[in-house]
Amino acid sequence: MVLAIECGVRASVFLFPRGSTAAIALVFSPALITFIGLPAGAVGGCPASRLWQRGGPVQKTAVAVLSAAVLTLQQWQTRGDPERWW
């Protein structure tokens, strides 16, 4: 999650700048990562880890599919072009 946020911020500043103030995002990205990215990764990763360790084949398949879906969504969002995010 942290890497996805960082890639998105860097791409929006260096690859697709929207104006002269685009670099301000670099100042606030550490706070965004600290207060949103790390807790979101922990909230999703802890239950997924427990299901993977204790679950059967159905639970492991569900964790794998959901993890792949989240990674795909993150990659789609970090393309850098804010107009294509949503």
Domain count, the chain: 1
Q: Can you tell me the distance from the alpha carbon of 11 to that of 80, in angstroms, rounded to the nearest whole number?
A: 5
Whether the per-residue pLDDT at 75 is higher than 60: the answer is yes
> Terminus-to-terminus CA distance in the chain, angstroms?
18
Task: Determine if the pTM surpasses 0.85.
Answer: no
pLDDT, mean over the chain: 80
Do the beta carbons of residue 7 and residue 78 sit within 8 Å? yes
Q: What is the pLDDT of residues 38-64, one digit of tens each?
A: 888 888 888 888 988 998 999 999 999
- What mean pLDDT comes out for the span 31-42? 84
Domain holding 17, by residue range, is: 2-78
- pLDDT above 50 for 86: no
**In a domain? residue 6:** yes
Q: Is 86 a member of any domain?
A: no
The three-state secondary structure class of 18 is: coil
For residue 84, being part of any structural domain is answered with no
Residue identified by tokens 């993977």 is: 52
Residues 6+ positions from 28 with CB-CB distance below 8 Å: none
Asked, for residue 46, whether it belongs to a domain, the answer is yes
- The residue with greater pLDDT, 46 or 12, is 46
In angstroms, the CA 56 to CA 39 distance is: 27
